[in-house]
Amino acid sequence: MKKLICLLLAMVMVLSLVACGSNDTGKTPANDNKEPVASDNNNEQTAEKIVVWTLANDLKQFAEKYKEDTGREVEVVVFDSADYATKIMQTLGAQSKDLDIFVGEPQMLPNFFEAGFAADLSKLESDVAEKLVGYTYQAGQDVDGTLRAVSYQACPGSVIYRRDLAIEVFGTDDPAAIGEKFATFNAIAETAAELDAAGYKIFGDTGALRWFSTNSNPWVNENNEIIVDQDRLDYFDAAVELYQKNYVAHASEWSAPWYSSMAGPLPVLTPDTNVWDLTGDGLAEDIANGAETTQVFSYVMPSWGALIIRDNAADNKGKFGICSGASSFFGGGTFLAVNEFSDKKDAAIDFIEYCTLNNDTAQWWLETSNGDVVSNKEVLAANADYQNESFGNQNTYGFYLEEMENIDYSLITGYDDACKEAFGAAIVSVQKGETTKEEALKEFYTVVTTQFPELVIPADAPIN
């Protein structure tokens, strides 16, 4: 129970919403592989209204579409992300029947599974294993391999870069060629130096590198050892170098300068700039008054981040491309689980099947969301001719489908968020000159082992 509470607290700290765009990027081709809506198998439960608790508004649209196609009603209740995990733990901890379906992001699911809140969805398993992206199938299983959650959405990651700046600096905007420049942390540091020499910054800030921190090894191995391998040391060194040499724009993610950088030049900022006090209007005024400027070359985010960039690019819309980075990764995603205590399990499973395994529904969502990536492999493959106007007419669905095949879910552990947070804090302390690298790594191990006493520091840890 102590471990569960610790994991829940860590989860609440890092919970992030999956962002969905709204601008038109063009229609995807119709999918000729038609499937019937899931039948009710003569079970009267499917005629009853079900209640869904969720984190975002997407499922309201699914519910409207479901009622239109089946006549069955679904009530969707949307919660603020900061309150959601606690609300689920309290409500289902009391074995409430007030909801029939609840959602979770991947880092939340193990806690819900361990608590016994998610019903067995094994009746869907063969279809899920065959039709949906592999990592989403694995994320929906509990420690015993029982399927308990299914996602209509996949959130593979990429490097999102400026094609126009790539041609200017590197002579090409080809995704494969630019991907080589992000293939390792050492390559990223070299690419950052090239961009800086041309007057550009590789990232908004060094937080972009964190997405690649699970590369060759899990954060915690089967012996409960905390692993800081050479890749993570290279990540550490690259983050420090990019910061101290001002190869990044010092525009923190989610700040006004970070958003503004997607549309054009930024005033040159320093590490001491309080970006949270800046506004888009103020930045524009500084530029108009002749401030020295720079531009951000790239961003590292899951696929929902590409929608954020698209919707904030203004006149730069169409000038971006996507490519691979130092490792394949994912972040976020909406997984649907059935309340173990619900009296309407069959009806709830019918809705989940409709949202996740029905090809027509997946095709509808690709078009309705204008760019969200579905977990349905057949539908992604059916859109092989899709050209995304916001990303240089690149076939983004084809890219993401291939990228998801490279995600190694075996590297994911329940300790990842805590390790990443502590490692990031260690990096920041060295970036700012507050500690040495060795002191920072020692503090990292102390923080993690204090939070999780069952973890151990291996004999070959990179500290004396």
Per the structure, the count of domains in the chain is: 2
Same domain, 263 and 126: no
Q: Which residue has the higher pLDDT, 103 or 44?
A: 103
- Which structural domain range is residue 99 located in? 2-155+331-383
Same domain, 135 and 74: yes
Q: Which residue has the higher pLDDT, 19 or 281?
A: 281
Same domain, 116 and 13: yes
Question: Of 362, 383, 404, which one is at a domain's C-terminal end?
Answer: 383
Same domain, 164 and 150: no
* Domain containing residue 169: CATH number: 3.40.190
pLDDT tens for each residue of 215-261: 889 999 999 999 999 999 999 999 999 999 999 999 999 999 999 99
Mean pLDDT of the chain: 90
* Domain containing residue 134: CATH number: 3.40.190.10
Same domain, 148 and 162: no
Same domain, 149 and 168: no
Same domain, 225 and 272: yes
Give Cβ neighbours of residue 260 (< 8 Å, ≥ 6 apart).
Answer: 251, 266, 280, 283, 284, 312
Same domain, 145 and 202: no
Same domain, 315 and 212: yes
Q: Which residue has the higher pLDDT, 84 or 23?
A: 84
Same domain, 371 and 243: no
pLDDT tens for each residue of 95-142: 999 999 999 999 899 999 999 999 999 999 999 999 999 999 999 999
Q: How confident is the model at residue 46, as a pLDDT?
A: 53
Q: How confident is the model at residue 294, as a pLDDT?
A: 98
Give Cβ neighbours of residue 445 (< 8 Å, ≥ 6 apart).
Answer: 226, 457, 461, 463
Q: Is residue 305 part of a domain?
A: yes
> How far apart (Å, rounded) are the C-alpha atoms in residues 54 and 76?
7
Could you tell me the pTM of the whole model? 0.87
Same domain, 137 and 210: no
What's the pLDDT band for 47 if we cut at 50, 70, 90? Answer: low
Same domain, 313 and 185: yes
Is the pLDDT score of 19 beyond 70?
A: no
Q: What's the rounded mean pLDDT across residues 50-67? A: 96
Per-residue tokens: 246: 């001002």
Question: Of 288, 303, 323, which one is at a domain's C-terminal end?
Answer: 323
> How far apart (Å, rounded) are the C-alpha atoms in residues 151 and 141?
12
Q: How confident is the model at residue 180, as a pLDDT?
A: 98
